Amino acid sequence: MPVSAPPFDPPYISMHAGDGNTEYIETLADGSTRAVPAAAFGPALPSAHDVAVSRTAASSSTPSSSKLYLNVPYAEKDEAKALGARWDAAKKKWYAPPGAEAGRFERWLPQA
């Protein structure tokens, strides 16, 4: 698999997952690299296993398979958009896209 350059300039740290282990590599502005121990990041840094488990859990949840239209006031449109809401120009309404977690948009859900 070819490795592509990230869409940002160094310095940065990348996670490389292999056969049951995870390496963290720091790339410096001069292009040099060095290994960084995971302990340097504290407990907040996920392991490759944690990432795989969270992706599996996310894909196995029961997201909606169609657009869920929302009642978003104009003053709150940027907040809804930041949470993943999309604009349907034909209906002139915001919606939660298919696969989105409806709980993120709870405050804008239509009242029954």
Please check whether residue 54 lies inside any domain of the structure. Answer: yes
Residue 26, domain extent: 12-60
Residues 52 and 82 in one domain: no
Please check whether residue 29 lies inside any domain of the structure. Answer: yes
Contact 36, 26 (CB under 8 A): yes
Regarding beta strands 86-88 and 93-96, do their DSSP bridges make them parallel or antiparallel, or are they unpaired?
Answer: antiparallel
Per the structure, the count of domains in the chain is 2
Residues 54 and 79 in one domain: no
Residues 33 and 72 in one domain: no
Per-residue confidence in pLDDT tens, the chain, 112 aa: 566 666 667 777 777 776 667 777 888 778 788 887 776 665 555 555 555 555 554 444 445 457 888 999 999 999 999 988 999 999 999 998 888 887 888 889 887 6
The pTM assigned to this predicted structure is 0.42
